[in-house]
A and B are shown apart, each in its own frame.
Chain A
Amino acid sequence: MKNIVVIGGGPAGLEASAQLHRLGYNVILVEKSPQLGGHLAKWDRLFPSGIPAKDVLEKMVSQINGVKYFLEANVQSINLLHKSYNVILNNGITVLADAVLFTTGFDLFPAQKKEEYGYGIYEKVITNADLENWFKTKKDNRVTENPKRIGFVHCVGSRDEKAGNRYCSKVCCATAVKQACEIKQEFPDVEVFCFYMDLRMFGRGYEDMYLSAQKDYGVRFIRGRVSEVAENINKELIVKAEDTLSGKPIKVTLDLLVLMSGMQNCSEGTKVAHQLGIANAGNDGFFETKDAIYSQQHSTREGIFFAGACTGPKTLPDSLSEARAAAIEIHNYVKGIR
């Protein structure tokens, strides 16, 4: 029986493992954290229609019966032996894999790196992940009862040379609009401002979500990037931006500011990829696929495959499609079908 190692137990890893298992392979799934699901496990609801993340994750996990998976496991070394890869995990397990699939996903941009936004410095500044956690648990001292004004800053650590990430993280616009609506559901009287550079509502149903945010929830969209945030004596935040559409600098006092942290390539995954010489030392940090259109699931090395956000920011459905595509590509590769 052929061994396939899947690195990363997020949505793409789970889906690919399930598909490969169904195709009759011995799948070994490696996950660094104590639980499966990656970022999905930390999310509350999903855009555009607000499906609970928990339901989606539970469905995925139920599909991987029979897949061997290791939690709190890291790939310690990986190297080519003849035609297969010798993968050694930190828990002592060694696998001789016929193919390796990277589903290492992304890290959220560390928002404290944009010091002018004051994450970690001002009390009332949180990230999109913090807000999802609050939606889930309702536990976070920074989110206080009956806030008057809340702001969302798009593109934190995305489209920003200074943050080292020039690319668009693709999903934050939709996430911000979703979260803006949800916060209005929680606090109907709150005034919500979204500070954006460009609203990238590219997917099916996203524009409807945007329309609903305007029409049903009265969210104010301000076309201008926040340049700096100060704190007043009452720990309220004073946010400065330009309303580029009226061409005037604006200032607004907020009770909570949510930073939409973007995506960057998973640092743990990059370390493993480095051993294989496939970590993209180039510009954006994500892994380089064999080509940009036709062979998205192939790496530049035989037997190493990619799926999900490790090759660039992706939505959840994108990642799942890639996972299924990767399963087929691996199947073809192992069977020698060209």
Chain B
Amino acid sequence: MVKFGFALNPSSRIDLDKTDREKFAQLVELEPDVLKCMACGSCTASCTAGKFTPTSVRSAILEIQNGRWQQALDMLKGCLLCGKCTMVCPRAINTRHLILAINEVYQSGK
């Protein structure tokens, strides 16, 4: 069969068919608050590390839901767990524990 179209680069689309539901379920069990985010960005805005690094809880949650957990982990590397994001979150997400839980679930396995 003849392949048609451009195949020089792999697709950069987010493929929701390939997200890991099992790991995500583990994360939800550890910290159910991961489901509560409404992406307001308060956490990122107040983040002490976010001024210098791409630290963002909001983006990390989004990346994980899109199956891109490596990007999420990179995003949380600079976190100092200071807790400001917990204080400003309008949905009262326990962001500190969520960050620890994301690391626990996704750092261990590939």
Q: Which of these, A160, A198, A244, contacts B58 with CB under 8 Å?
A: A244
Please determine whether B90 and A241 come into contact, CB atoms closer than 8 angstroms: no
Query: Assuming the A-B contacts A249-B47, A249-B51, are A225 and B41 also in contact, with contact meaning beta carbons closer than 8 angstroms in the complex?
Result: yes
- Interface residue A232 (Cβ < 8 Å from any Cβ of B): no
Which of B39, B40, B47, B92 gathers most chain A CB within 10 Å? Answer: B40
- Interface residue B59 (Cβ < 8 Å from any Cβ of A): yes
Please determine whether A249 and B90 come into contact, CB atoms closer than 8 angstroms: no
- Interface residue B45 (Cβ < 8 Å from any Cβ of A): yes
- Interface residue B83 (Cβ < 8 Å from any Cβ of A): no
- Interface residue A314 (Cβ < 8 Å from any Cβ of B): no
Query: Assuming the A-B contacts A197-B40, A224-B41, A249-B47, are A242 and B58 also in contact, with contact meaning beta carbons closer than 8 angstroms in the complex?
Result: yes
Query: Assuming the A-B contacts A227-B46, A249-B50, A249-B51, are A244 and B91 also in contact, with contact meaning beta carbons closer than 8 angstroms in the complex?
Result: no
B91 surroundings in chain A (CB, below 8 A)? 161
Please determine whether B45 and A241 come into contact, CB atoms closer than 8 angstroms: yes
Please determine whether B44 and A249 come into contact, CB atoms closer than 8 angstroms: yes
Q: Across the interface, name the chain A residue whose C-beta is closest to B47.
A: A249
Please determine whether B41 and A242 come into contact, CB atoms closer than 8 angstroms: yes
A160 surroundings in chain B (CB, below 8 A)? 90
B 50-66 binary contact with A (CB < 8 Å = 1; else 0): 11001010110000000
Please determine whether A197 and B38 come into contact, CB atoms closer than 8 angstroms: yes
- Interface residue B73 (Cβ < 8 Å from any Cβ of A): no
Query: Assuming the A-B contacts A161-B90, A161-B91, A227-B88, are A249 and B45 also in contact, with contact meaning beta carbons closer than 8 angstroms in the complex?
Result: yes
Looking at chain A, what size class is its interface with the partner chain? 20 to 34
Looking at chain B, what size class is its interface with the partner chain? 20 to 34
Shortest distance between the CB of A329 and any CB in chain B (Å):
36
- Interface residue B42 (Cβ < 8 Å from any Cβ of A): yes
A241 surroundings in chain B (CB, below 8 A)? 41-42, 45
Please determine whether B41 and A243 come into contact, CB atoms closer than 8 angstroms: yes
Shortest distance between the CB of B106 and any CB in chain A (Å):
20
B45 surroundings in chain A (CB, below 8 A)? 224-228, 240-242, 249-250
A224 surroundings in chain B (CB, below 8 A)? 40-42, 45
Q: Which of these, B42, B54, B59, contacts A225 with CB under 8 Å?
A: B42
Please determine whether A162 and B90 come into contact, CB atoms closer than 8 angstroms: yes
Query: Assuming the A-B contacts A240-B46, A241-B45, are A225 and B40 also in contact, with contact meaning beta carbons closer than 8 angstroms in the complex?
Result: yes
Please determine whether B88 and A228 come into contact, CB atoms closer than 8 angstroms: yes
- Interface residue A159 (Cβ < 8 Å from any Cβ of B): yes
Please determine whether B56 and A242 come into contact, CB atoms closer than 8 angstroms: yes
B89 surroundings in chain A (CB, below 8 A)? 162
Shortest distance between the CB of B86 and any CB in chain A (Å):
10
- Interface residue A116 (Cβ < 8 Å from any Cβ of B): yes
A162 surroundings in chain B (CB, below 8 A)? 87-90, 92
- Interface residue A247 (Cβ < 8 Å from any Cβ of B): yes
Please determine whether B59 and A247 come into contact, CB atoms closer than 8 angstroms: yes
Shortest distance between the CB of B83 and any CB in chain A (Å):
13
Q: Across the interface, name the chain B residue whose C-beta is closest to A224.
A: B41
Q: Which of these, A161, A163, A244, contacts B41 with CB under 8 Å?
A: A244
User: Whole-angstrom distance between the alpha carbons of A155 and B92 in the complex?
Assistant: 15
A227 surroundings in chain B (CB, below 8 A)? 41-43, 45-46, 88
A228 surroundings in chain B (CB, below 8 A)? 45-46, 88
Q: Across the interface, name the chain B residue whose C-beta is closest to A222.
A: B41
User: Whole-angstrom distance between the alpha carbons of A228 and B42 in the complex?
Assistant: 9
Q: Across the interface, name the chain B residue whose C-beta is closest to A155.
A: B90
User: Whole-angstrom distance between the alpha carbons of A226 and B58 in the complex?
Assistant: 14
A-B interface, 3 closest residue pairs, ranked by CB to CB distance from nearest: A242-B41, A227-B45, A225-B40
15 additional A-B pairs beyond A160-B90, A228-B45, A241-B42, beta carbons within 8 Å, are A162-B88, A224-B41, A225-B40, A225-B90, A226-B42, A227-B42, A227-B46, A227-B88, A228-B46, A241-B45, A242-B41, A242-B42, A242-B44, A244-B58, A247-B59
